[in-house]
Amino acid sequence: MSIEIIILLIGLVALMALGIPICFALMSVSSVILLAFFGPAQMNILNAAFVNQMQSDSLLAIPMFALMASFLQTSGIGSDIYEFFHKWMGGIRGGLAMATVATTAVIAAMSGVAATATIAMGLIALPEMINRGYDKSLACGPVLAGGCLGPIIPPSTIMIIMASYTGVSAGWLFMGGVLPGVGLALIFMLYIGIRCMITPSLGPAIPKNERPGWGEKFRVFGKVVVPIGIIVLVLGCIYAGVATPTEASGVGAFASFAYAILTRKLSLKSLRTSLVQTMETSVMLMWILMGGAAYNSLVNITRLADVVANAFRSAQLDGMPLMLVIFVLFFVMGMFLDTTPIIMIAIPVLLPIIRSSSLDLHATILILCITLCLGMITPPFGINMFYLLGVAPPGIDTKVMYKAVLPYVAIFIIACVLMMLFPQLIVAFPNSAMGY
């Protein structure tokens, strides 16, 4: 291993340990190594890398989906969706927790990120469950686990970034994420139902005298038809081949804008807030992607990918053993890093290895996207736990959250292993939908 690679790895770890933002850590290490070992002339490589990264058409979908999420948030969709599931499911044991899983997954899917849904349900659903006598761990688990499903269920920012790094179609990843995302949500709800059936005191049902009638249930149903329809419209455009994911993101942004106007919840102030939020999200991600572009260039120059590939070849890893090693690597990184930095650091090194192996590229990338979401709730530094900790009621601490997420982490791991063993099950639908 060359001295440049050693400095690259040590420098990157040191800067992140000091709390330097990942984009600046990547750009700093890349710039210093290029300047010190390859000369000032090679600095032009970074300029070319930045320009090439920003020219990716798929990245245009990020601000559009962020804008769509902002307009839907302005419309008060979070509370409407929770009210819908609350009234329809609150009458069964664990019903509020199941409603929280469903609501959090839908909101996170609309926004493409986990933070929005986790914080929203931490403010809306968690206090309601605690007041209804729910066990604290059982109440926290659905908020944390449901939030990490959002980046699996399209539209997903993680999948857009992964597509730009791997060359796998973002539309294919969107379609591929539907069944695993919805399936995991249903399994989470089934787990809650079984656990509350065995121990009713963990999640008591709403008393009969407080349960809504059928008229009230159908009234709240009307509130969620249009927002859910917008997501169906976006995916339908991609599925039907009418629009690319980038074009479909524009359709979704316009539809959510029109919905906010029709509900009379879009004022000049909220419009400005939505645009500013979109700009902040987009600029943050673009800075991170520029740091990733610099790091990717350095990986190519130092041939770090070749060093790692030779190590894997020496160990004679292929097929399922190779997939397990990559899964464990992503799982461990997810305990300490956010999703986008993991993609930028690991994919440039591992992609050539995956391509040269017997693994199905599409299935492997989809499983890695799901594994990244698992890292959001994995102790000790699962990012969703910190989001929820900031808005949780008194009495909810990290000990409660660790206890809350462990069953969902176990379910996630089992699901990932099954997908590794039977990859044909997760590629059948997206292959059919995208005509592969």
Is 110:77 a contact under the CB 8 Å cutoff? yes
C-alpha closest to that of 116 among 88, 83, 142, 148: 148
CB atoms < 10 A from the CB of 179, how many?
Answer: 16
- Please state the rounded mean pLDDT for residues 197-215: 82
Is 195 inside any structural domain?
A: yes
Among the ranges 173-187, 229-243, 277-291, 309-323, which has the highest mean pLDDT value?
Answer: 173-187
pLDDT, tens digit (0-9, with 9 covering 90-100), for 119-156: 777 877 888 888 888 898 888 998 888 888 878 888 78
Is 3 inside any structural domain?
A: no
Is 7 inside any structural domain?
A: no
Banded model confidence at residue 102, pLDDT cuts 50, 70, 90: confident
Three-class DSSP labels, 2-63: CHHHHHHHHHHHHHHHCCCCHHHHHHHHHHHHHHHHHCHHHHHHHHHHHHHHHCCHHHHHHH
pLDDT at 383 over 90: no
Banded model confidence at residue 371, pLDDT cuts 50, 70, 90: very high
Is 77 inside any structural domain?
A: yes
pLDDT number for residue 131: 84
CB atoms < 10 A from the CB of 339, how many?
Answer: 25
Phi, psi (rounded to 5 degrees) for 117: -70, -40
Domain span at residue 117 reads 21-34+41-434
DSSP string, 370-433: HHHHHGGG-SSS-HHHHHHHTTPPTT--HHHHHHHHHHHHHHHHHHHHHHHH-THHHHHHHHHH
Q: Tokens for 85?
A: 């599931």
Cis omega before residue 430 (within 30°)?
no
Which string of b and e fits 369-385 if b means at least 16 CB within 10 Å?
A: bbbbbbbbbbeeebbbb
pLDDT, tens digit (0-9, with 9 covering 90-100), for 51-85: 777 777 777 777 887 888 778 777 777 677 777 77
Is 9 inside any structural domain?
A: no
Q: What is the mean pLDDT of the chain?
A: 82
- Please state the rounded mean pLDDT for residues 358-386: 87
**Residue ranges of the alpha helices (H) in 212-244?**
214-239
pLDDT number for residue 112: 64
pTM of the model: 0.81
pLDDT, tens digit (0-9, with 9 covering 90-100), for 268-288: 888 888 888 888 878 887 887
pLDDT at 94 over 90: no
Is 4 inside any structural domain?
A: no
Domain count, the chain: 1
pLDDT number for residue 188: 94
Is 1 inside any structural domain?
A: no
